[in-house]
Amino acid sequence: MTRRATAAKTSAGILLYRNRPGGIQVFLAHPGGPFWARKDDGAWSIPKGEYDPAEDPLAAARREFTEETGLALQGPFEALGQLKQPGGKVITAYAVEGDVDAVSVVSNTFELEWPPRSGKMCRFPEVDRAAWFEFETACRKVLPGQRPFLDRLMKSMMGESE
């Protein structure tokens, strides 16, 4: 039997930030659904989602941000590059400065059998809440595989290159 190589799943997202007197704040989303319900530190994410490799990653990132938050963003967008996640997915991220009301987030939903093997399908929001975090707190809240995007944003803001 021969194994055919499968392409890694691709995802694109936007790291929204704002400059406040106390420093930079970043906007993160908490994933919805029962798996994430009681998780906090190390569970938050930049708003992102999967896209087809033939699609423009920035267009996908903008679409996914809107789907997961109900909010649209204007550029200019700065590329933060790609990161391969522990599960193999490759995320492309962009940063943009802006300000949104985190309380007004309204996410699209997904369907999941819950409880498992119950035969009952339930709908859950892809994002159950969003919040602004000071940089140090955001570093603790964000999924570990996405932390380098925060570091890249800070280096960019300080005029450093990788």
pLDDT per residue as tens digits for the range 131-161? 999 999 999 999 999 999 999 999 998 876 5
Domain boundaries, the chain: 10-157
> Is the pTM for the entire model greater than 0.85?
yes
pLDDT at 69: 95
What's 55's DSSP letter?
Answer: S
Question: What is the dihedral sign for C-alpha 121, 112, 59, 29?
Answer: positive
Span 12-37, mean pLDDT?
94
Q: How many other CB atoms sit within 10 Å of the CB of residue 136?
A: 10
Q: Are 125 and 109 in contact (CB under 8 A)?
A: yes
CATH number of 10-157: 3.90.79.10
Q: Are 93 and 15 in contact (CB under 8 A)?
A: yes
Distance CA 86, CA 45 (A): 14
Structure tokens that stand for 97 in this block: 């400065």
Q: What is the pLDDT of residues 50-75, one digit of tens each?
A: 999 899 999 999 999 999 999 999 98
Q: What share of the chain is helix, strand, coil (3-state, %, to 5)?
A: 25, 35, 40
Structure tokens that stand for 42 in this block: 């190390």
